[in-house]
A and B are shown apart, each in its own frame.
Chain A
Amino acid sequence: MSLTVVSPLDERPLPEGSAPPRLASVGGARIALLDISKGGGEVFLDRVDALLRERYGVSEVLRFRKPTFAKPAPEAVLTDIRKAQPQAVIEALAD
């Protein structure tokens, strides 16, 4: 005899998302860097910041920071990034 089981899983379909189109070039672009507040993150991002300007001709690098790595970015941080209207955002994850 066959058994019938009750699904213990989250049955919602996974939301489909897709990455935005890649920039053809970062030359002359405004790029945002999001520091998630992990120890050492700013050291890494300072170097990325410098490389983007010196090597890739990025016109402006905008810096943002989450108040804590332990929680999702608060809406206020996301709002600030949106208002600045960068062409791309680079998020520095973990340490």
Chain B
Amino acid sequence: MPMLANGVVAPPVPGQPPSGPSLLAFFKADCPACHLALRYLDNLARSIGSGDHVLAVSQNERASTEKLMRSLGADLPLRFDRDLTASAGFGLEAVPALFLLDQAGRVLASSQGFDKADLNRLGGKLAKLLEVPDPELARPGDGNPDFQPGCVSRHLEPESDTAAADIPDLYSRRAGRASRIDLPTEADAEEWCYESGYADPLPVVPPTVERVERMLAESGLSPDEVVAHVPPNFGAASVEKIAANAVMAGCRPEYMRVLVPAVRALCDERLDIHGVQGTTHFAAPLAIVNGPVRLELGFACGSNVFSNAARANSTIGRALQLILRNLGGAAPGRIDMSTMGNPGRFSFVIGENEEASPWGPLSEDFGIDAGRNAVTFFCAEPPRPVSEHKAREPRVLLRAICPVLANLWSYRVCKRSEAVVVIGPEHAATLGRGGFTKRDVVEFLFENTGVPVSEYDGDGGEGTHEAGFYDECVIRGVRCYRKFRRPESVRVMVAGGPAGKFSAVLGSWATGPRGSQMVSYQFA
């Protein structure tokens, strides 16, 4: 039967009926979209205050439901649809499913799946009925996706006689404390860590209790607070686990102020580190640091910005990689099956040379005010070099960058890649003197990067089959296909040392909502 239409009187739900208008939320314990919705609904219930006006209807038994609610820190009034008759009666196809009912139990509005717009709409209507302020539950850009499809309702699931696998605990906010392990007296601590699978192939600093405690003290956070769940295994990155990996990577305690928001950003669903961890491609997450923290913690932003110049870059980048490996499970040869790999899989962190830039910082492109600390992630190929030592005029200089951009991913593949162009300080000075704004640079690169149509001569190579979808243009009299989908596919920043007219181009992995999207997080 179809889902209950508006105006229809809803069938009864087990337990005490609500007194007055109510929002019923059907869910099941192993549904990630339900976990997301329940957190917002818990906030809605709290903002409304007394009364059972927001009811969570579980399709599971009490024990697993209560365990889930504890892990979410949610305290919603619960009902149990044990035999799933109510789920069938409401005509659910998917959960979470929300039904706004009036006092007489008639359906006023409904929604299936996790959708911030629906949550706001239904939460707003309930607030209006109860004459309380609209709580504006779900804001865009709060770290959760705007939309996530739900899971099939349990009453439609085929029965199975095999035991279900454990439910991954994706949204818990607290983790158990990390184990303390006494090393054998005769053990060499560095060798022991290596043999215990703690490390990449380089030596690590043993994460002794004292060192980890110093990290924790500096963070000012509770050790069991979960910052993120690291894909693909979704191990909980508690502050304590982050600290242990940071010690091993050689971090100083004060680096925790960057590492904690960086781990959160790294696990943002938009970045899709899940896919990047398992790809055969070259991609690795590059972290770009902006703001005063660069100078306070000594991040390299100048000479050797991509290499081994500063402890902050090298050890924070290594800590992130160790976290991906130790908590996410992406060790080379197991989940990480990159064909060629990327030197950035040891460490891949740069600071923007804001002092040498004629423009605002990269983080400003993502809505963060200049002067604020921010970490931005881009899943990138290794840097490709650009040399242009003769150009004295912006257009001539930028022409040297266009062919490097044209080669991203594969020469004849268009409209797929994105790029970060790291402009060296000498090049930045040329562009600044020539009056080019960042927008001018991006538009010039977009307009002048293409692949000649003559290259598509029917040999069947990569990118040639999709040519019908490409956008044609003329670049210096030559018919071309535009390399990029839109100007915003190219991001521009400044980094590198004061001498040498070099820049660098970094290409992306799969892009857009079906791949990896750049994310930028502000921090204190």
Contact = CB atoms under 8 A, between A and B. Distances in A.
B189 interface: yes
A9 B184 CA distance: 19
B280 interface: yes
User: Per DSSP, are chain A's interface residues mostly helix, strand or loop, or mixed?
Assistant: loop
Interface string A6-19: 11111110011110
Given A11-B178, A68-B510, A5 B206 contact: yes
Given A10-B329, A68-B515, A85-B158, A5 B275 contact: no
A25 interface: no
A5 to B, nearest CB: 5
Contact of B272 (A6, A11, A71): A71
A6 B189 contact: no
Interface in A38-95: 39, 67-72, 74-76, 78-79, 82-83, 85, 94
B322 A6 contact: no
Nearest to B168: A15
A83 to B, nearest CB: 8
Given A3-B208, A5-B206, A70 B178 contact: no
B515 A10 contact: no
A7 B327 CA distance: 11
Interface string A27-46: 00000000000010000000
Contacts of B149: 74-76
Contacts of B241: 8, 10
Nearest to A8: B244
Contacts of B245: 8
Nearest to A94: B280
A11 B224 CA distance: 14
A15 B189 contact: no
B186 to A, nearest CB: 9
B424 interface: no
B162 interface: yes
Interface residues on A, range: 20 to 34
B180 interface: yes
B21 interface: no
Contact of B182 (A4, A39, A67, A74): A4
Contacts of B193: 5
Contacts of A20: 162
B499 interface: no
Interface stretch (B232-240, B260-268, B284-292, B451-459): B232-240
A67 B152 contact: no
B514 interface: yes
A75 B94 contact: yes
Contacts of A4: 180-183, 208-209
B326 interface: yes
B307 to A, nearest CB: 26
B235 A12 contact: yes
B16 interface: no
B185 A6 contact: no
A85 to B, nearest CB: 7
Contacts of B209: 4-6
Contact of B158 (A8, A15, A72, A82): A82
A71 B180 contact: no
B195 interface: no
A67 B166 CA distance: 26
B314 interface: no
Contacts of B322: 8
A51 to B, nearest CB: 24
Contacts of A71: 272, 274-275, 514
Contacts of A5: 180-181, 183, 189, 193, 206-209, 244
A68 B187 CA distance: 47
B131 interface: no
Contacts of A74: 149
A3 to B, nearest CB: 5
Contacts of A15: 165-166
Given A4-B209, A6-B208, A8-B245, 18 more contacts: A2-B182, A4-B180, A5-B193, A5-B208, A6-B180, A6-B207, A6-B240, A8-B178, A8-B244, A10-B329, A15-B165, A18-B162, A39-B462, A68-B515, A70-B516, A71-B514, A79-B152, A79-B156
The list of the 4 closest CB pairs from A to B, nearest first, reads: A10-B235, A68-B514, A8-B244, A70-B275
12 contacts: A5-B206, A7-B180, A8-B241, A8-B322, A10-B326, A68-B514, A70-B272, A70-B509, A70-B515, A72-B274, A79-B156, A83-B156
